[in-house]
Copies of this chain bind each other. A is one copy, B any other.
Amino acid sequence: MSNASIDNGTSDAKAVNAKGIDTRLWSNKARHLSPYVPGEQPQHENLCKLNTNENPFPPSSKVGEAINAVLAQQADELRLYPAPESDDLRAALAHLHGIDSNQVFVGNGSDEVLALVFASFFMKEQPLLAPDISYSFYPVYAQTFGVDLVQIPLEKDFSVNPDAYSQPCSGIIIANPNAPTGLLMSLADIRKLALKHSDAVIVIDEAYIDFARADEMSTEKEVSAVSLINEFDNILVTQTFSKSRSLAGLRVGMAFANASLIEALTRMKNSFNSYPLDKLAQAGATASVLDAPYFEKICQQVIDLREALTTELTSLGYQVLPSDANFVFARPKDGDASAVASALREQGIIVRHFNQPRIQEYLRITVGTQAQHERLIDALKAL
């Protein structure tokens, strides 16, 4: 990406990188980045978009109503700065989880929250540990903030083995359920990590946790590590409105932890950008939190659809990992996932294929509507 011959900020009229872009005036930081590449967002009609883990159901109608109310009653107030710390939204989230507002942080999507987490807790001499297969933004943040990231291989069955996280570290970050596998780690294993690394910050990225359910055989009733933050001062949990709350378009994410970790995030935020959440996003997100019945209903519907999709794919010979997320990770019988992805694309069905070691034989398929599943299964049968 960067031109290896350019290594400092001095002038070089010929400083162009491999893409032919003039990087003469860029910082080395900018030259050496490998930015995150989100799943594509093609705009054409009649596409069956099962590649970016968006919710197939619309957000709560209360969201639009709350935003309409702001526009109708206080449109004038858009001229004023929003509440910098999103107090109402934080209070609603605190109430939902039975914690204090000072244990809640919100930001412009959980991606922004994660960026601030890296700057606040992982810019240290010791490395950060993360699974080798996980959310692909983690290595990007590590590069952005100069964090040494050590990737710990998942087990052969793609599960996270807490005993593999034994080396001294500044922190550990684990997506739970993990992406793109969909596998859930138990709270018992998370406790084990937090106890073993009491001087490190254990970040549990729960983007998909609302689609997870406790194993019926387990004594644990909870699946979210938010239930651990009063017990462990080194556990920080991130979540998002983009998946279970159907609000990817509104850009709201959050973190839960003890007050001193939240204070670090707040200070970091106020050294980047004081007002990350606009007035309408704050109002809409708050309304979503307050509409618990709708939230629970659509989460259950997504779970039911996921289980049905798993059954159908299995009956077509796919190996499907047991998912606790709103996607499934599935391997076609012959392992040629790339060919399946291409063939589906020709039918206007977009799924995600990761061309990287260990997982190149799998497809990540977002849970969609019943109709989208029928279209997908029909297309797979016809291949």
Which residues from chain A sit less than 8 Å from chain B, CB to CB? 8-11, 21-30, 33-38, 41, 52, 54-59, 61, 63-64, 67-68, 71, 75-84, 108-109, 111-112, 115, 119-126, 140-141, 143-144, 170, 198-201, 233-234, 242, 246-251, 259-261, 263-264, 266-281, 284
A27-B124, A278-B280 known, 11 other contacts, Cβ within 8 Å: A10-B199, A22-B260, A25-B121, A26-B260, A27-B170, A30-B267, A41-B81, A63-B78, A67-B67, A249-B278, A251-B275
A275 vs chain B, min Cβ distance (A): 6
Question: Given contacts A121-B30, A264-B26, A264-B30, is CB(A81)–CB(B270) below 8 Å?
Answer: no
Question: Given contacts A10-B199, A119-B30, is CB(A79)–CB(B108) below 8 Å?
Answer: no
CA distance A111 to B36 in the complex (A): 22
CA distance A278 to B280 in the complex (A): 10
Contact A35 B267 (CB under 8 A): yes
B residues in contact with A52, CB < 8 Å: 81
Contact of A124 among B28, B41, B59, B266 (CB under 8 A): B28
B residues in contact with A277, CB < 8 Å: 251
Give the residue name and chain of the B residue nearest to A170 (CB).
Answer: B9
Contact A120 B275 (CB under 8 A): no
Copies of this protein, total: 2
CA distance A322 to B244 in the complex (A): 53
Contact B27 A119 (CB under 8 A): yes
Q: Chain A binding site: helix, strand, loop or mixed by DSSP?
A: loop
Question: Given contacts A27-B122, A281-B278, is CB(A271)–CB(B67) below 8 Å?
Answer: no
Contact A271 B64 (CB under 8 A): no
Contact B248 A79 (CB under 8 A): yes
Contact A199 B25 (CB under 8 A): yes
Contact A273 B77 (CB under 8 A): no
B residues in contact with A111, CB < 8 Å: 272-275
Contact A112 B276 (CB under 8 A): yes
B residues in contact with A242, CB < 8 Å: 81
B residues in contact with A109, CB < 8 Å: 273, 275-276
Contact of A33 among B22, B41, B249, B268 (CB under 8 A): B268
CA distance A233 to B21 in the complex (A): 13
Contact B271 A121 (CB under 8 A): no
Contact of A271 among B143, B264, B270 (CB under 8 A): B143
Contact of A78 among B8, B140, B249, B260 (CB under 8 A): B249
Contact of A71 among B34, B67, B270 (CB under 8 A): B67
Give the residue name and chain of the B residue nearest to A82 (CB).
Answer: B249
Give the residue name and chain of the B residue nearest to A11 (CB).
Answer: B199
